[in-house]
Each structure stands twice: as structure tokens, then as C-alpha cells.
């Protein structure tokens, strides 16, 4: 390759060093760490008389395949096909010239080996689909087997169903005995729950806003980091039919300030997702990630893919990004520095999420307002109160060994990240917040938004049900403060959205139509509380949203916070959809379409970089 002018001596040494560190084939290191494009390599092989075969359509001897370890095939990019008539073993390999591999296979199979050139992606696909079944089953059922209490495979336990039906019957019996009194008490209870949830959020926001007073990691600390001391860092990129985002993804990864050889990036592609696989194949510049193909298995969810990916990770730390994410360039270094500073019990750090297409339309503006307050204030507030933190979908950074110890993500939970955050706390570990932002693509289409949000709210309900199976035990583990925090933040979020339109409707009917029957539900003191709730609740929510975008210096968004009550109604629609799905399709993963934005993120990224 050197003589062919593909690499300089220096690059060659770099690739060899990476290959040694990861125990990869040379070609794998070259293709996955940004040294070589696949097109160049194919051209080189053809020149060397190794035209690529279509390995996925080759006849394969399963017996031979079973003798090979998936990890070894994945690392050295080969797959034994069959023996030919002369007893020679045909092996498809990404690097048919790899003498070390040939020697190893010769010893292993004790026969002559004939190497055939094949695409590394096809080999990976074939190896994983044929030999990854064990791992994918582990990815799905491991948590359920090891820690059944934490698994969401059962949505409602018998006890929970008994409580729900018992309360429902009690409610209707009480209505039968005294309709007005029961309605008034219910009205009051709902109003107070709503008010308390909002006051709690305001308190959290104020606590969280105090975090502005100091940076958990300063720029000086980042500058002082010695690159040679940095550990290998795994980045998981679960994708499904995201072919249009692959190019963006590579550019975003390239902007990360972390030594190239220490970034173990895994692009997790589903078995049936040829679109994304072909997009990777068609790249005309070097990729800086390794493709892992997740074999087919239900449920087809992101946590399952991530769990599968874990079996192939090499890093000390691990994070997840979505394909369209633009993390701050120094995010990984910040995480390493912060992990070094924090006590060992901190095993996860959550970065802030925000949007690069914030000004695209009203929905993206509202989304930005919401995310700004959620990640900048709520999570830091929860951290300062030492109560469970529901992790965000991406940019959560784990200590890999601890993640494995916890049983990783629950593939049956559609907000596996929030669930994991609570589980971390339950197992007496801690979640921290790192002062670094990842820009994502905000959902800019209302129906797509409702799909996504219904999944999130359903996931919160699932998480609530899973961890409330035995409230007494939960209190013992996380204490009363954690218990109330969990109830109001995880349970309260869903309940608030479900209640909002009901209370709003009652209130509007009362104010505008003054219907007698409704008036009976509002004795003076209930009316007082309801008015207080309605105005104070809405004003406070608007206010909290304003604070967060002010911190972000998105001044132009401030006034849009006034539309928050309408945005809440959209939440309510999503909440009812989520509730319906929780009952009928609890594991169904509402896929959110990405790549709908027409906004380029480069200018936004520059702005954010300037601001942080």
C-alpha cells in the first residue's frame, strides 16, 4: 500500500499502532479510523487481482462458521465460506493479502486457505447475522434474567392492576354515593397535584440555575489535559434508515477534539437496513467509525441495538449520539476530566441537549425553549437535590464497566435512557451533569413531534410503573427525597400532561358558560385554588422557559414562551396517545423521522461555540 502511494510511512505506523491497541486487522483500522476510503481500497484490491465477491450471496458452510468466534471475525474481517473440491478452505476477507490472518486460519483449520476479496461491510453483516444471535438474545433478555424487577417486559404487575382497578371502582362508588363531594375532592386533588408539580419544577429551575455560577469543568482544565493519558472512548451511534445523515455524521465526529486512535466509534445498523449500509459503502471519503450490524430480533428498539453494541466496545467510557448530533468539540475531554474529579460513585454524566434548527418554525422554537430549561436547569436542579435524574436520549456518558454491571438498557422500555437514570440511582450510584452541549435536530413537523413525544411520555409511564412495583423497597433504596423526586418528576410529568386539558376544560366551561353543574364543582375555596393554579401554573411555566433561553442567549425566543400553554396542549395529545399505546402496544417504538430540517447546522454550531 505504501508503494501504491496510499499511505505514508508515518500513517502506516499510526494504523499499525491502532490495530495493535484494538487487536484489529490492519485493514479494519485503516478503514474505520479515517485513513482510507472504501472506494480507494476496492480499487487497490482490483488492481491486485482480488475483485470483490458478493459474499452475502455465497454458499456458506454453517459448520465452519460455528467454529469461528464472532469477535475474531469482526476484528479481522473475514468469514469462512466452504471447502472447495480439493479441501481448500475458501475464506472471504476484507484484506485477502493479510498474511498473519492466513497463517492463523491455516493453523486453525489445518488446511490450505484460499482468500477471496470481499467488502468489509458485507463480511460484518454476514458475521453478525450468522453468529450474533447469542449476543442479540443476551441484549434483549439479559436484564430480564439478571434483574427481573427492573425489566419493563411486564407493563402492569398484578398488584398494580389491582390498585388501579380498586381505585377506579372506589371512585365510581364514591361518585354514586355523593357525586358533588367526590367531584370536588377529585377536582381539588388534581388541582393540588398540578400545582405542586409546577412549583416543584420552579424550585428545580432555580436550583438548577445556580449551576451557572460555576463550570463543572473549566477551559483551563481542558487545556491542561495530556492527550496521551486519555482512555479509549466508545461512541455508540444507533441508526435506522438514516442514509442521508451519514456524511453529516462523519463531519460531526471529525470535529471532536479527541485523539483519533482513541475514539472507538460504533455505527449500529439493523440487519434489514441496507439503505444505511449502502450509504456507508458509497462514501467517497474515509469513515471514522466501525459498522456493527445488529441481527434481527424483537423488540426492534434502540436500547436493544445499544446493548448489542456493548459486546464489541473497547472504551473505558461510552456515550451515545444520534446520527444528526453535533456535540461540543471538547465534550469528551470534559467528561474525562469531570469523571476524574468526581467521586467513584458517579458513573454517568449527562450533557445538555439543544437544537441547531431552533428558528426553523414555531415548533422548533418551542422545542428549543423546552430543551433549554430541561437540560440546563431541570437536570442540574435534580442533581443538586440528589434525586433520580432521567437521562436524555443522547450525550449520556457512562463508565462502561458500571453500565454492564447495571445490565445496560432495558430493551422493553421505550425511554430506556430515563429508566436507566433511575436505575443508576436505585443501585446507589450517581448521575452527574457536564457543562457541554450537543446540538440535535428539533422535530419540525407536528405529527412527527407527537409520535416522538408520545413515545417519551409512554416511556415515562413505563419507567414509573417499573420502579413503583414495590414502593416500599424503592423508598428504602433511594430515600424519601428521591422517592418524591421520582414521583413528581417521572410520574408527575405524565400526570400533569394528562390533567392539563381536563382542568383547562373545566375552567373554561366555568368561566365562559357558567354552567350550574360545573359551578357545583367549584366551591369558593376550590375556585380560589383553581384560579391560582391556572394563572400561576401557566405564568411559571412560561417564566421557566424564558429563563432557560435567556441563559442560552437565544433572546429572540423569549416571547415565544408565551405560547407555552398551547404547546402543553400538544403534550397532552401526545400523553393520551402514549397512554393508549402503553395499554395496547407497550413496546412499540414510534420512530421519529430525522433529517427533515432544511437548516444547515454549521452557522448554529459556530454561534454556540462562541457562546459557550
Question: In 317-470, where does DSSP find H-type helix?
Answer: 331-341, 362-373, 379-385, 400-406, 416-426, 446-467
In sequence order, the 6+-apart residues with CB closer than 8 A to the CB of 104 are: none
* Residue 556 interacts with another protein (CB under 8 A): yes or no: yes
Asked if 305 and 238 count as a contact pair (C-beta separation under 8 A), the reply is: yes
Longest dimension (CA), the chain: 95
Find how far residue 394's CA is from the centre of its chain: 4
Report helix, strand or coil for 391.
coil
* Residue 196 interacts with another protein (CB under 8 A): yes or no: no
**CA–CA separation, 484 vs 478, rounded Å?**
10
Q: Residue 560 CB, nearest distance to another protein (Å)?
A: 11
Closest CA to 260 of 283, 289, 285: 289
Residue 474: C-alpha distances to residues 129, 149, 381, 465 (Å)? 39, 11, 21, 12
* Residue 508 interacts with another protein (CB under 8 A): yes or no: no
- CA angle at residue 199 from 194 to 203, to 5 degrees? 150
* Residue 547 interacts with another protein (CB under 8 A): yes or no: yes
Q: Which CB, 422 or 542, lies closer to another protein?
A: 542
**CA–CA separation, 392 vs 408, rounded Å?**
15
* Residue 513 interacts with another protein (CB under 8 A): yes or no: no
Site for another protein in 197-256 (CB under 8 A): 206, 209-210, 212-213
Among 6, 153, 527, 579, binds another protein (CB under 8 A): 527
Count, residues near another protein per rule CB under 8 A? 26
Q: Residue 505 CB, nearest distance to another protein (Å)?
A: 18
Q: Which CB, 92 or 544, lies closer to another protein?
A: 544
Q: Which CB, 204 or 348, lies closer to another protein?
A: 204
Stretch that binds another protein, among 187-195, 318-326, 500-508, 546-554 (CB under 8 A): 546-554
Among 44, 285, 484, 550, binds another protein (CB under 8 A): 550
* Residue 177 interacts with another protein (CB under 8 A): yes or no: no
Q: Which CB, 259 or 565, lies closer to another protein?
A: 565
Place of cell 467528561: 335
Q: Evaluate the CA torsion angle 18, 21, 22, 28 in order and state its sign.
A: positive
Q: What is the DSSP string of 28-86?
A: HHHHHTTS--HHHHHHHHHHTT-PPB-GGGS---HHHHHTS-HHHHHHHTEEEEEE-TT
* Residue 559 interacts with another protein (CB under 8 A): yes or no: yes
Stretch that binds another protein, among 151-159, 269-277, 477-485, 553-561 (CB under 8 A): 553-561
For residues 271 to 300, the per-residue mask of contacts with another protein, x marking binding by CB under 8 A and - elsewhere, is ------------------------------
Q: Which CB, 527 or 609, lies closer to another protein?
A: 527
Q: Residue 209 CB, nearest distance to another protein (Å)?
A: 4
> Residue 319: left if φ>0, alpha if ψ -120 to 50, beta else—which one?
beta
* Residue 543 interacts with another protein (CB under 8 A): yes or no: yes
Residues that bind another protein (CB under 8 A): 206, 209-210, 212-213, 524-525, 527-528, 531-532, 535-536, 539, 542-543, 546-548, 550-551, 553, 555-556, 558-559
Amino acid at each position: 500500500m505504501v508503494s501504491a502511494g496510499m499511505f505514508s510511512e508515518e500513517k502506516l505506523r499510526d494504523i499499525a499502532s491502532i490495530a495493535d491497541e484494538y487487536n484489529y486487522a490492519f485493514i479494519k483500522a485503516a478503514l474505520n479510523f479515517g485513513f482510507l476510503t472504501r472506494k480507494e481500497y476496492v480499487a487497490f484490491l482490483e488492481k491486485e487481482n482480488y475483485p470483490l465477491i458478493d459474499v452475502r450471496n455465497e454458499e456458506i458452510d454453517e459448520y465452519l462458521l460455528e467454529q469461528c468466534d464472532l469477535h475474531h471475525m469482526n476484528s479481522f474481517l473475514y468469514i469462512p465460506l466452504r471447502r472447495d473440491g480439493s479441501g481448500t478452505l475458501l475464506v472471504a476477507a476484507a484484506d485477502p493479502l493479510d498474511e498473519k490472518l492466513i497463517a492463523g486460519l491455516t493453523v486453525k483449520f489445518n488446511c490450505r486457505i484460499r482468500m477471496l476479496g470481499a467488502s468489509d461491510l458485507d463480511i460484518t453483516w454476514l458475521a453478525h447475522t450468522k453468529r450474533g444471535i447469542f449476543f442479540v438474545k443476551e441484549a434483549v433478555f439479559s436484564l430480564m434474567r439478571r434483574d427481573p424487577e427492573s425489566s419493563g417486559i411486564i407493563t402492569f404487575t398484578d398488584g398494580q392492576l389491582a390498585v388501579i382497578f380498586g381505585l377506579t371502582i372506589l371512585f365510581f362508588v364514591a361518585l354514586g354515593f355523593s357525586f358533588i363531594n367526590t367531584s370536588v375532592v377529585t377536582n381539588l386533588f388534581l388541582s393540588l397535584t398540578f400545582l405542586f408539580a409546577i412549583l416543584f419544577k420552579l424550585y428545580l429551575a432555580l436550583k438548577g440555575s445556580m449551576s451557572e455560577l460555576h463550570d463543572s469543568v473549566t477551559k483551563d482544565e481542558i487545556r491542561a489535559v495530556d492527550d496521551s493519558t486519555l482512555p479509549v472512548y466508545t461512541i455508540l451511534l444507533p441508526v435506522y434508515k438514516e442514509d442521508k445523515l451519514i456524511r453529516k455524521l462523519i463531519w460531526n465526529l471529525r470535529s471532536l477534539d479527541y485523539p483519533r486512535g482513541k475514539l472507538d466509534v460504533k455505527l449500529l445498523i439493523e440487519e434489514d437496513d441496507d439503505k444505511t449500509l449502502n450509504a456507508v459503502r458509497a462514501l467517497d471519503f474515509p469513515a471514522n467509525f466501525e459498522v456493527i450490524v445488529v441481527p434481527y430480533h424483537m423488540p426492534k428498539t434502540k436500547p436493544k441495538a445499544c446493548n448489542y453494541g456493548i459486546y464489541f466496545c473497547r472504551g473505558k467510557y461510552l456515550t451515545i449520539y444520534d446520527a444528526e448530533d453535533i456535540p461540543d468539540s471538547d465534550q469528551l475531554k470534559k467528561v474525562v476530566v469531570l469523571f476524574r474529579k468526581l467521586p467513584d460513585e458517579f458513573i454517568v454524566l449527562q450533557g445538555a441537549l439543544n437544537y441547531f434548527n431552533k428558528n426553523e418554525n414555531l415548533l422548533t422554537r418551542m422545542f428549543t425553549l423546552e430543551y433549554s430549561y430541561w437540560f440546563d436547569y431541570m437536570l442540574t436542579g435534580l442533581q443538586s437535590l440528589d434525586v433520580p435524574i432521567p437521562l436524555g436520549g443522547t450525550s449520556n456518558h457512562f463508565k462502561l464497566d458500571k453500565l454492564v454491571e447495571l445490565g445496560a438498557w432495558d430493551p422493553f422500555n421505550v425511554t430506556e435512557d430515563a429508566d436507566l437514570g433511575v436505575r443508576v440511582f436505585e443501585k446507589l450510584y450517581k448521575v452527574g451533569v457536564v457543562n457541554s452541549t450537543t446540538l440535535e435536530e428539533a422535530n419540525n413537523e407536528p405529527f412527527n413531534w407527537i409520535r416522538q413525544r408520545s413515545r417519551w411520555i409512554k416511556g415515562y409511564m413505563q419507567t414509573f410503573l417499573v420502579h413503583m412495583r414495590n414502593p416500599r423497597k424503592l423508598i428504602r433504596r433511594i430515600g424519601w427525597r428521591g422517592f418524591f423526586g421520582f414521583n413528581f418528576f417521572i410520574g408527575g410529568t405524565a400526570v400533569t400532561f394528562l390533567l392539563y386539558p381536563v382542568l383547562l376544560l373545566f375552567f373554561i366551561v366555568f368561566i365562559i358558560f357558567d354552567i350550574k353543574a360545573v359551578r357545583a364543582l367549584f366551591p369558593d375555596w376550590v375556585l380560589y385554588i383553581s384560579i391560582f393554579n391556572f394563572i400561576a401554573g401557566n405564568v411559571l411555566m412560561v417564566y421557566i422557559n424564558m429563563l432557560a433561553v435567556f441563559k442560552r442567549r437565544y433572546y429572540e425566543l423569549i416571547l415565544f414562551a408565551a405560547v407555552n400553554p398551547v404547546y402543553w396542549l400538544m403534550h397532552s395529545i401526545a400523553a393520551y396517545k402514549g397512554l393508549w399505546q402503553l395499554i395496547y402496544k407497550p413496546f412499540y417504538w414510534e420512530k421519529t423521522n430525522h433529517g427533515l430540517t432544511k437548516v444547515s447546522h454549521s452557522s448554529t454550531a459556530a454561534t454556540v461555540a462562541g457562546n459557550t
